[in-house]
Amino acid sequence: KSLARLAEKGGAEPGEVLGRVTPVEDLVAAELMIEAVVEDAAVKEDVFRRADELLPAEAVLASNTSSIPISSLAAVTARPDRVIGMHFFNPVPVLKLVEVIRAVQTSGETAVAIVALARDLGKEPAEARAFPGFVSNRILMPFINEAVYALMEGVAEPQAIDTIAKLGFAHPMGPLALADLIGLDTCV
């Protein structure tokens, strides 16, 4: 469905894109895993534990997390120097930004390789250190919180708050709609 929408906007045809995907059963040759499961630390840690056991020792383990500490994911592996955050922004085919998050344990070699990969994918990497919220959510969540406070205090109706952000700040959607898209549980 997403590929069809992109094709309507001038992107590649869905069949062409899917033709570039090659499923494999043998993970011995894998050089990189980019995890993109639900934003739940226990689930992500389980994926990292299993990937650490299955993938070659030299493989890099990246997470698309927007908030889970990269250091906690690195800590459940025997390769903490090869664990990194690679936070893609939605919609991934459209937005160029990839927030590259280095844990304390992440090696310089791993960071350089992931920054280069992001550029090879046609993305613009922005490096951040592993602090709560990284950069994107550290800035975004107070913005969303203020929109919620404005609603709670009766400053404006939801539609007006989102319209002001969209038209006044040139945002593609308002903070309340964005919170709904992200998921209120994830925002909290």
| 171 is an active site residue | no
CA dihedral (108, 113, 114, 119) positive or negative: positive
**Containing H/E element for 87?**
strand 83-88
Q: For residue 86, which of 107, 61, 53 has the smallest C-alpha distance? A: 61
Which residues are CB-contacts of 63 (< 8 A; sequence separation ≥ 6)?
Answer: 34, 35, 44, 48, 70, 73, 83, 84, 85, 86
Q: Which of 87, 101, 123, 130 is the catalytic position?
A: 87
CA 35/CA 80 separation, integer angstroms: 15
Catalytic residues: 87
